[in-house]
Structures are given as structure tokens and as C-alpha cells.
Structure 1
């Protein structure tokens, strides 16, 4: 602690900690020694109280929810936990800031390989001579965003300051451990020395005697043998002391906490969506607003002309409409800012399950509000100014007369005589009107295409995020478990133990390492490297397919095969050189042979020949990739416990099902957010369609009244408008499909994390759903228009303004 606090601003707190087995199901538990709830990583008690007595324990609230433990229950640890007592009374349940994601508690090398929950007992109950965990805090980092690059950079700087101090502390600690060990061994050394001196003295005396010499010599020989055995044990103890006296420090930051990085990644994905969707929402909203305000001013031509004739200035007339648009804009901005900042985030967070956070902290996003306000006023006040400044340039007599309708022109479709001649009269009228009102047709197509694209993008994001896990565990990874031996020499016995299980199908041995890779000045940490003992057999367990050609890839005798994300991040391609540093510090520059498809994580693959060629040494083969028959969660737990119990050389077991669950959880967490965007997209699409249809009818009310007078039935009058809407909707939906794919691709690119690739995936049914929604909106709008057109006062509409 003193060593850590040598760094400026550092505050250290020591904790006794270890992984143990306990509970009804022999769960892997992260066990902490509790002293008080002050300082770092304070527990939040959800029920009960903190441990006050030596026989009390407080459990993770996850144990209460998933394992159904209750206050007052007795909790028992396995003997291997080496605690001062094995049974404890459960007095409370709590949350810890070390575990923010309720779906995971990290991994370990005992039990199933997955930590089930954490627990705290009194520190005095843990049979540990010293603390095993040191938490270090820097006040200067407390206010930084823990997921920002600035924070990560600052943390790395602090770690780099701590490491040299602990390198020096390592030597001091080694000397302390040796001194303490030798102090404990010194009485035994002194006893052996004294015993040896007595034997030596006895032998000297025996040489001077003649009677009883044979019997005494035999006794002294036996005593000497016993002393030699004790000396051998003492020597072995000193040798073991020398080996274990060097302390090992494992460094970790918040990024290494279970679920912490996943939380940041989820936030980044939501941010990526939130940085794209509002832009398109706003464009559609601006389209509606601009069209509505423009139409409002244009419909007031006669009133503007009257004001001009009465002597009102252009400024006074313009102010009337600009003030209205400004007031509408300001009210919309105020209401949208309040609802958008306070209610919508709370609603999203309430649906976003899985984390320990219960009370959202919401801040007003003033920069975004300012941008939205400026753009909103442009769409409202700007539209009013644009139209009114054109209107006031005309003379009063022109303004007081209705605007002359656009003259009909020959459309390009008429050039295809064979097709035009086959169309009905009503169809010809509709197509003429489509080309006659080009701007309105364009806005309708744009509105429908935008709505379709947003709905399709919402579904596409959900599909694509889920596709990462599905493709990783069905198209790339073809094994169900990884079993690690504690020594390469014991791998055969471990394989024999594993193969005796009824669920066992096959296995292949591999060497593994976690390495760092560099290229073009960029670096990636925590890259998993596999060296296949049997390269041809290995491809049955990990399907390697080229990114460029999708062809099957085999491990070459020279060069390295890397996953797609490594290549994209470091700018690599086949033939590029890659600098690799192993966990033990061995370095090599290896040419990239192939880039293969991979969707989650960073992986590198080598043949034994390629590894030896690069590093001038062979890698220890101490891991098995195991293919199993279908296993359930319970049988998976039983398998893991059986392997660990039956063979002491099994260091750890992990299952791909646990990784799959984590990925699926990531996808499920996005579902509420995506559904909200789909819902809002649908509402906005309906409003756009309704608004444009309403404007279309109001602009052409004289035309529609005329055809009613000429004898068109109500249904025919409605179809006069609806037929145009249907054609525009079909075009808009088709265009929206294209926009939807492009928008989804862009959002996924923004949402990708450092380790995950999201393949563009939109299932066919969502195209159908988006189409049906647009058809439904169109039908509703047509029915509303039909009711409106049935009630049109033809005489009032056709009355001359003069």
C-alpha cells in the first residue's frame, strides 16, 4: 500500500480475496474479506445488513434472484476454501460497483469456469496471511468519463508510473518472504545441527569403548538416517521457499471488470444509433413542417393581397406569418426538449434490463437542444420567410385572385403508345397529375422512402447485432468446451478423463497464448493466439474462411492467419508484416498469410511449423478443444465439476455456451431501443403521409369539386387521389428498401466495437412488415380522405373569389 501511494494522488486499499466453491450447487464464488464499508468499492445493501459477526455472510443479490437464497439460510463452503469455518448465516444481499452487469460475474479456473456470484465474510475468517488484492484510486480520474479515450490514456499513464515502483517492491517483498521463511525454518535447522553434534560426539565416545559397541553403532546409524531425512525435507522446504518467494503482480483496470466493457460497448451502440436516427427523423419532421408552413402562407394569398391593398407594409404583413411560425417553433422546441430529455431516456432505461443501476441521472443536452432549435426555426420561420417574401412582391390584384393552376403537359409515358392506349381514363388522369405536381410527388416519395428506411433499419440493427453471435458460434466455432491442463505433460491424462464422459464426441490439442500485436504504429492487446498441434484436424473445430473469397483456409507452414477485425484495425492484408509479442515477452515479426472471417474477438492461428519458424521455439500444448453432444446448462455444470474433481491436472474448463449467452444478452439489450425507434419511425411515416395527402386535397379542392359536379361518384373521387398515393407509395417503398440497407450499414459501422463485427443482416420478413405498415398507413389516410371528400361543399369550393 505504501509503495502504491508513492504515486502522486494514489490512495490504496488492501482486500483479502480468492475464488472458492460453495453453496448448494458447488458454485464458483468470488469471496472477499469484509472489514468495513468505507473507502473503495462500497457495497449497496439491498436487504438485510452487512456481516457483524464471524459466522455471518452477505451474498450478491444475484444469488437471491437466481439461486433463491433467503435471509437466515445457512451457507456452506467446500473444505478446499480453507476458511476458519465452513458454514455461515446469510444476513444480507447486496450490489457491488465491481459487478455492474447482472448477467455475468466473470470467469475463473475452478468449478464451471464461470463465477456465479460474489460473497463477503469477515476478513478474519479467511485463512490468508496477507491481503491478495490492492485497489488503487486516483482522485484526478474520478471526474473523467470512464469509457473515454482520455480516461483510458490517463489510467495507462498511472499504471506505467506504478509498475517501476512495484518492480522495486517485488525485490523487497522477496527478501521479506525469504527472511520470514528462514526465520520459521531456523528452529528446525538449529535442532538438526544440535542433533548432528550429539551424534558426532557419541561416535567419538563410542570409538573409545569396546563393550556394547555393535548395538550402539546400529542405534547411531538409525538416528543419523533419520537426521538425513529431516535434512532432506528441510532442504526441499528451503528450495520451495526460494521458488515461491518471488511475488507475482497481475495488473487490471476497470476495463477488466466483468461486464464493464460490455456496458460501455452497449452505450456506444446506442450512441451510434442516437447519432444517426435523429438526423433522419429531423429531416422528415422538417419536410412536414416546411410543407405545412409553406402551404399555410400560400393559402393566405387573398388575405395578403387585401392587406397590401389596404396599405399595410410588406414588413407588417410578413411579421404576422413569421411570428406565427416562430411561436409554433419555440413551443415545439420547448416541448420536444423537455420530453426528449426527461421522459424518452427514462423510458429507454426502464426497458434496458440487466444492470444494477436503478435511478437514471438525466442531464439536459444543451448543445443538442441548441442545434435542434436552430434547425427547427429554419424549418418554420425560414419556410414562412421564403414564401411570404415571394408573395409580397406580387401586386394586390394578382394576390386576390386564385393562383392559376399548372397547365397539363404531355408526359413521357404517352410516347409509349402501345402502353398508353391500354390504360383506362382514370389511370391516364392519375399519371398526368403525378407528373403535373412533381414537387409534391417527390416529397411524398421521399417521406414514404424515409419512413420505410427507418423502420427497416430498426429491424436490421436488431438482426445484425444478433447475427454476430449466431455466425460466430455456428459458422466459425465448432467446439463446445475448452479444457486446460496445468502442465503439457498431463494433457494426455486430461484428455482421457474428458473422453470418458457420455457427452464426449472428439477433441483436438492446441497451444494457446494471449499476445499483443503491432503494425503501422497501432497496437492491439489481448489477442488470442492458437497453435494447432494437428493443423488439418483443427479446421474441423474452427472453420477458417477467407474474407476475400470465402474459400476454406488451411494453416500454412509459414506465416500467420488473422481474424478480420485485426486486419481492419491495423490496416493489414495478406503479405503485410505483423509484430507479435507473447505473454512471456517473446517477440517475432510474422507475415500475414490469410485474413479470415470472424465476428467476435481477436484471433490468430498458426501451425506448429510456422510458430517455431517465427519464435525459434515450440509452444506448450496444454489445451483441448472439445466437441460435445448436446448439453444443457445443468449437464454442463455437472461435466465441469466432474472433470475438475476426477483429474487434479485439469486447471480450468470453459464452455462456448456461456460466451453465446453473453452475446445473445448483448443483442437482447438492444431490442427495447430498436423497438422504440421502429415505433417512432412508424408514427412519423404516418404523419408524413397524412400531412402530404391533406395538403394535396386542399390544394386541389376546386379540381376535385369540379369532377364531383361532372358526375364522379364519391369512390371515384377518392381513387382520383388514392391512385396517385398508391403509385407514389410503391415507388417510395422500393426506394426505402435501398435507403434502409445503406442506413443500416452506416449505423452498424458506427456501432461496431473494438472486438465485434456486425454483418449486415435484414431478414426477409422485415421487408414484408415494413411494406405492410406502409400499406396500412396509406389505407388509413385514404379512408380519412374519403370521409373528408364526401363532405366537400362543392358550391363553396367552386365559388369565384371575384
Structure 2
């Protein structure tokens, strides 16, 4: 009997229960979908890193010997170490693409992942080339490729196409924001293939460390055994590829925790409102069941089954759809930014906990909602509930009350008497507004990053990168010819106490093509004293203006202790910046690595031996705009979720108001109010709820955006930005949803059966 009653009640209150179902469905869809995506990224990368034995430490220096290998491998906790020389070359192909070559001694640490062709052997001739680069340049196995380096030409046959664990995320230039695979690449060769063997030196050591070994101890041991003044040791967290991909994974997981909270909170409020109203309306039915011999426990389980059944079905369906389809929305765009051999989807234990928690909380809320009616004995329960005496509020006692019109008074008292229902509506509108602000803000922030990087910070049209063999006199000639600004960009290591980070140093000669902005994005001039430190690097090191930081250029032995005079924001290239004069006052020699200019160079300029590459800034902008497709997908998902949330919650709120106030509405009709006037009274309350939700939702949406921006990798600094237009779109979108709901509900007033509505007064 109770099962049939359950089905009848679900059907009778289908709108309320459908809304609860949808909130559970959407909450678990987003949570499980993003958890499966983020956890899948972690599973995919871990299996890839394990299969290729990605290095745990990279030791950079000059001229590593077999003795150095022996010393490191004898350290407790070190499994294996091998040497490598990494150089930057230019391929003799159309557009002179950049290729990073790696001459390796073995292939046991950071192994090549073969996609097609011959398996690598240290005794084999030829090159194993980046698969995406080969496709982009129409190269195949068996073709010959020529690369130039410092006047030398390296010609090799392509023996295999590969991907590599150190190039999951790969930028050819540190100034770029997003990759453009195919236009540049990397390759691996045996160390025996270097053209001039008597000039060959290993510049890097790759160290494989046993699991659960303290990396700091290994780093200190290496520096104590080998010339420590000339070494830079980095781990995976300092690798751009590893850290960027890891930050992407964490961002997806963080989003999965943040957004479903809104949906699940609405579902809980919906259950509270629906079950409280249902048990209150079924008070006499509950008394009858008690009189017929049904125990309190059995009746309690009956009403608990409402929340249990709806949340279980909604949660399981949401989890299934989220797991099956949500990761696919991100997959194509993720594959454009990152390179993995396999893209897995896998749920973590958090997803199962979320499903259980959703059902448990919903069932608990259903239990609490029915306790009031089950507390009394059958004789009391069979009688209608005595209406509560409502005390006049402060506003009702004030002189203002008498000046208010009837609709305001009616809606005010309705809100005071139905606080939970009103709270549910406000929270729903907050969620709708918050998601829209976050969606449009994500797009604004990334769009602003492009104009910020290449419109405000860097204002040149072309960046000419010099080869290592270019002399100072030649660089000055190029600067005069193109009326450009010389800059020096090099890798550095920074240290504060026991904390070390790798970054870059930018030294500026005379010119006006690079600009700096403080934390509030106001223009600043570089100080002549001390150094300017990027804002994100300051956060990573835990320091501020006035603190001291030690730093040295990678490959040089001299460490310098400098006072941080300024902080500046930069979307990329986290590190330090200074003028040439300041740099030379620190007893360093300025050696330009690039030239910034607004003049268009000749098409054959990259053919010159002194030039490594010529970058077109407009091309970098286009590459970043192309990467916006992934952001557009995220924006579309958030906007769709916002609209669904707003429609479901506001419609449910409107239906609840209509059902609970049927008698009052019928009374208003008897008193002469037209359907249009009654509709206006009800819409006014919906308008109040919408405005309150929007006011609270706007700042919360911005704070959610701030949290999202903070999940980027240590090398990227994204300033959260929401334009006035985006705020207007968010407000307008929320009001549009509210208007749609009002339109859907407006016709119900005419359907009221006056006899049935007023019969209860007898």
C-alpha cells in the first residue's frame, strides 16, 4: 500500500521531484565528469611517465664525464643516471622551423615512446623525430632532414616517429602562451651522430631516483660530490611540461569540487521544502496510517524513501552521463595542447563518496522533514494543525507599512512565512548568476591575456632570435638596421632559504618594446636599484618587496643576492627583469639573445647564420586565439548549466508558490482581482528573489573565477577579469531565465478550480 502511495505522491508532485532529480543529476554529472576527466589525466600521464621512466632530476652543467655518472649512481636512492646534450637547431625546411635536438648516450631514463618506425638503438644512425612535427612538415620515415646549428649542418635519415615524456607540453619560445605543434618540434639522436666529436660535451644529466626517496637529500648529495657552483638541479615540479599538465589536471578536479556544490545544495533545499510541505499536507493521512497500526518506524522509512529514491536515481544517472560524455567535450581541445599516447577516463574514490553522500544527505533531510508530523499521537495527528500565530515584524509595525501597496504587503508576508522556499529560490539565482559570471569571466581573462601579453607588455611586431655564434657587433648592426631593442633572455635559478625555483631573466637595452605593470596593472618603470621580480614568482618563493633573493644564470657559477625593489605581472616568463645598466653594475656582461622591432625583416633573414629564428607576433596571437576553442567549450557548458539551474529552481519555486497559495489566489479572484493583477503580484516576488540572488551572485562568481585562475601552473599568471559587458550579459541572462519561468507559470492562474480551492474553508 505504501509503495502505491509513494508512486501517487511522486506523480502528484512531479514538478518538485523532477527539480530535485535534475539538481542531483546535474551535480553528480559535473562532479563525476570532471573527476573522471581530471583523474583520467592523472592516470594517463602516470602510466606514460612510468612506461618511459621519466627522469626525477635534471642536472644541468658543462662537460659531464663517466666519473660523474659513477659518482651519482653510487648515491643511496639513485637507480640510474645518463648523460645528454640538448641544442636548439633550425630545420632546412620552408619557414625555417625550430627543432630541439637531444644527443643521448642511452635510452633508459626519459625513454622515447615509439609511434612508428625502428626501435631506437645507441648504435644506430639516423634521427627519431617528433611525430606531430613530422606530420606538420609532411615528413615520413625514410626521408632525410637537415638541421643547422652554429654554422654546422646535421643531415639525418628519419628512422622513427616518437613522442617524449618531457614534451607533453612544449613551447618553442618562452614568450609564447600556447603550443602550435607541427610548426616546431624535437628529435633524438645517438651521441655518436654529433658532427664534430672533439667538440662534443654532455650538458645534462638525467637522474632516476627510487620511490619514496627524499629529492632534497639527493640534490644536496649530488652538489656535494660534483662541482656544485656550476650546477643547476631541477625536479619534475620545476619542469614546464610536467607542472603545466599537472596544473591542468588539478584545475579540472578543482572545478569538479566547486560547481556541483551549488546543484547539490539546491537539491537539498528542494527536498526540505517539498517534504516539509508534503508531510504537512498529509498530516491527516499520517494520523490515519498510525490509527491503522502502521508503526512510526515504517511510516518514517516510507517518507525517507522519497529522498532516497530521487537522489539515488538522479545521482546514478548523472554519474553515468558525466563519466561517459563530459570528458569527450574536453578531449579534442586537450589533445591540441598536450601530447599523450593514451587518453584514459577513470573515476577516483571521490566520485563514489559523492554519490553515497548525495543519497545519504537527501535521505537524512527527508527523515528530518517528516519528524514533526510523526511526533504526535494519532488522535492529535488526525486533527488539522493549529495555524501558527505570526507576530508582526519591525517593518509591519513601522509607519512605512501603511504606505506600501497591497502586492508588496502580500509578498512580504509570504516570504516571511516561507523562508526556506524563498532561500531556495535565492540560492538558485545565486548559482545561475555565479556560473554565468564565471563563464564569461573565463573568456574575458583569456582574451585579455592575449592583448595584455602582445598589446600592452610586448608592443613589437617581430622578434628576431640570434644564434649562439652571432657576435656583438653583428647584433648591434641588426638593431640599427631594424631600429629595434636588444634584450637578453636566459634561464636562471632563484633561491630563498631552502626553496629553489627556476625562471628566466630579461635584461633590456635601450628601447620601448617591453613594458611593465604592477599588481594593479598600472604602468611602472624599472628601478635602477635592486631587481624587479614577477608577481607569480614572488608568490612561489613566498617573498615580497623589500625581501632579498639569491639568483644566478644557469651555466654560470656566480650567485648574486639582490633586494626586490618592484613586483610586476607577466602572463609568462616568470623571473626577474632589469635594465642593462643595472645588470652590468652587477658585474655581468650584456649578451643580447633577441631583437624586438616593428619593422618587417626580409623573408631570407632566417637563412643567415647569425639568426636562429624570426617570430611573427601576429602569428603567436593567432595561435592563442585558436587555443580559445577549449575555453569556448567550457564557457558553453557553464552557461548551459546556469540556464538549467535557473529554470529548474525558479520554476519549482513558482510551482510551490502556486500550489501553496491556491486558496489565497482563489480568494483574491473572489475579491475582484483579475488574473493579470494576480500574475503581477506573483511576478513581483519572483523579481525580488531574482534581484537578491543577482546581487549576491555577482561577487561570488568573481571569487570562483579568482580560484580558477589560481590553479594555473607556476609559470603562468592569469589575471581574473570580468568586463562590464560580461556582467551585463550575466545579469541579463539571469533575468531572461526568470522572465521565461514567469511566462511558463502565468497561464496556471486561469486553471484554478474555484470550488475545489475554497472548499477547504467549510
Q: TM-score range by the shorter chain?
A: 0.7 to 0.9
The structure-2 alpha-carbon separation of the partners of 1:163 and 1:511, relative to structure 1 and needing over 3 Å to count, comes to same
Q: Look up the SS of the partner of 2:557 in the other structure.
A: coil
Give 2:590's aligned residue.
620
Give 2:559's aligned residue.
587
Task: Measure the CA separation in 2 of the matches of 1:119 and 1:626.
Answer: 28
Task: Measure the CA separation in 2 of the matches of 1:710 and 1:157.
Answer: 85
Task: Measure the CA separation in 2 of the matches of 1:56 and 1:252.
Answer: 30
1:478 maps to which of 459, 466, 470: 459
Task: Measure the CA separation in 1 of the matches of 2:419 and 2:325.
Answer: 40
1:728 maps to which of 683, 686, 689: 689
Deviations 1:536-566 (A, max 9, x none): x45x33323444794633422x333323234
Whether the 8 Å CA contact 1:17–1:133 is kept in 2: the answer is yes
- How many angstroms does 1:497 deviate by? 3.0
The structure-2 alpha-carbon separation of the partners of 1:416 and 1:618, relative to structure 1 and needing over 3 Å to count, comes to same
Task: Measure the CA separation in 1 of the matches of 2:697 and 2:672.
Answer: 38
1:387-536 matched pairs, under 5 angstroms: 387-396=369-378, 398-403=380-385, 421=403, 423=405, 425-479=406-460, 480-481=462-463, 483-484=465-466, 486=468, 490-500=471-481, 504=482, 506-510=483-487, 513-519=490-496, 521-530=498-507, 532-533=508-509
The structure-2 alpha-carbon separation of the partners of 1:528 and 1:522, relative to structure 1 and needing over 3 Å to count, comes to same
Quick check: 1:768 aligned with 2:728? yes
Task: Measure the CA separation in 2 of the matches of 1:678 and 1:551.
Answer: 35
The structure-2 alpha-carbon separation of the partners of 1:361 and 1:528, relative to structure 1 and needing over 3 Å to count, comes to same
Task: Measure the CA separation in 1 of the matches of 2:625 and 2:678.
Answer: 52
Give 1:182's aligned residue.
none
2:655 maps to which of 682, 694, 698: 694
Whether the 8 Å CA contact 1:560–1:592 is kept in 2: the answer is yes
1:103-252 matched pairs, under 5 angstroms: 104=171, 116-119=184-187, 127=195, 129=197, 136=206, 138=208, 140-141=210-211, 154=214, 157-158=217-218, 161=221
The structure-2 alpha-carbon separation of the partners of 1:661 and 1:515, relative to structure 1 and needing over 3 Å to count, comes to farther
Q: Look up the SS of the partner of 1:738 in the other structure.
A: helix
Give 2:45's aligned residue.
none
Whether the 8 Å CA contact 2:668–2:678 is kept in 1: the answer is yes
Task: Measure the CA separation in 1 of the matches of 2:638 and 2:168.
Answer: 26
Task: Measure the CA separation in 2 of the matches of 1:258 and 1:588.
Answer: 24
Deviations 1:694-715 (A, max 9, x none): 2222222222233344454444
Quick check: 1:60 aligned with 2:125? no
Whether the 8 Å CA contact 1:83–1:126 is kept in 2: the answer is no
2:263 maps to which of 264, 278, 281: 281
- How many angstroms does 1:391 deviate by? 1.2
Q: Look up the SS of the partner of 2:259 in the other structure.
A: helix
Give 2:353's aligned residue.
370
The structure-2 alpha-carbon separation of the partners of 1:449 and 1:39, relative to structure 1 and needing over 3 Å to count, comes to closer
Give 1:145's aligned residue.
none
- How many angstroms does 1:761 deviate by? 0.6
Task: Measure the CA separation in 2 of the matches of 1:14 and 1:394.
Answer: 81
The structure-2 alpha-carbon separation of the partners of 1:164 and 1:250, relative to structure 1 and needing over 3 Å to count, comes to same
Task: Measure the CA separation in 2 of the matches of 1:396 and 1:138.
Answer: 75
- For structure 1, list consecutive stretches of 5 or more residues without a partner in the other structure: 142-149, 171-247
Whether the 8 Å CA contact 2:436–2:639 is kept in 1: the answer is yes
Q: Look up the SS of the partner of 2:335 in the other structure.
A: coil
Task: Measure the CA separation in 2 of the matches of 1:745 and 1:252.
Answer: 29
Task: Measure the CA separation in 2 of the matches of 1:334 and 1:671.
Answer: 28
Task: Measure the CA separation in 2 of the matches of 1:79 and 1:478.
Answer: 30
- How many angstroms does 1:774 deviate by? 2.1
Give 1:564's aligned residue.
535
Give 1:791's aligned residue.
751
Give 1:323's aligned residue.
305
Deviations 1:710-754 (A, max 9, x none): 4544444433422311222122222211222233233333x2432
The structure-2 alpha-carbon separation of the partners of 1:406 and 1:350, relative to structure 1 and needing over 3 Å to count, comes to farther
- How many angstroms does 1:408 deviate by? 7.3
Q: Look up the SS of the partner of 1:518 in the other structure.
A: strand
- How many angstroms does 1:762 deviate by? 0.8
Give 2:714's aligned residue.
754
Q: Look up the SS of the partner of 2:485 in the other structure.
A: strand
The structure-2 alpha-carbon separation of the partners of 1:411 and 1:68, relative to structure 1 and needing over 3 Å to count, comes to farther
Whether the 8 Å CA contact 2:103–2:194 is kept in 1: the answer is yes
Q: Look up the SS of the partner of 2:167 in the other structure.
A: coil
Task: Measure the CA separation in 2 of the matches of 1:391 and 1:797.
Answer: 24
Task: Measure the CA separation in 2 of the matches of 1:470 and 1:300.
Answer: 62
- How many angstroms does 1:337 deviate by? 3.9
Give 2:146's aligned residue.
77
Task: Measure the CA separation in 2 of the matches of 1:113 and 1:683.
Answer: 37
- How many angstroms does 1:441 deviate by? 2.4
2:113 maps to which of 28, 39, 43: 43
The structure-2 alpha-carbon separation of the partners of 1:781 and 1:367, relative to structure 1 and needing over 3 Å to count, comes to same
Quick check: 1:299 aligned with 2:270? no
Q: Look up the SS of the partner of 2:722 in the other structure.
A: coil
- How many angstroms does 1:452 deviate by? 0.9
1:28 maps to which of 60, 84, 98: 98
Whether the 8 Å CA contact 1:409–1:436 is kept in 2: the answer is no
Task: Measure the CA separation in 2 of the matches of 1:436 and 1:744.
Answer: 35
Deviations 1:343-397 (A, max 9, x none): 433443355331333643233322453255235422x222222222211223545
The structure-2 alpha-carbon separation of the partners of 1:265 and 1:374, relative to structure 1 and needing over 3 Å to count, comes to closer
Whether the 8 Å CA contact 2:516–2:524 is kept in 1: the answer is yes
Stretch of structure 1 that moved more, 575-584 or 50-59: 50-59
Give 2:248's aligned residue.
266
Q: Please, what TM-score do these two structures have when normalized by structure 2?
A: 0.75
Task: Measure the CA separation in 2 of the matches of 1:113 and 1:346.
Answer: 21
1:588-603 matched pairs, under 5 angstroms: 588-603=560-575
Whether the 8 Å CA contact 1:468–1:600 is kept in 2: the answer is no
Task: Measure the CA separation in 2 of the matches of 1:80 and 1:514.
Answer: 20
Deviations 1:557-611 (A, max 9, x none): x333323234334444443333333442323333333333434332433455645
Whether the 8 Å CA contact 2:146–2:153 is kept in 1: the answer is no
Radius of gyration: which is bigger? 1
Q: Look up the SS of the partner of 1:766 in the other structure.
A: helix
Q: Please, what TM-score do these two structures have when normalized by structure 1?
A: 0.72
Whether the 8 Å CA contact 2:82–2:106 is kept in 1: the answer is no
Give 1:385's aligned residue.
367
Whether the 8 Å CA contact 2:90–2:149 is kept in 1: the answer is yes
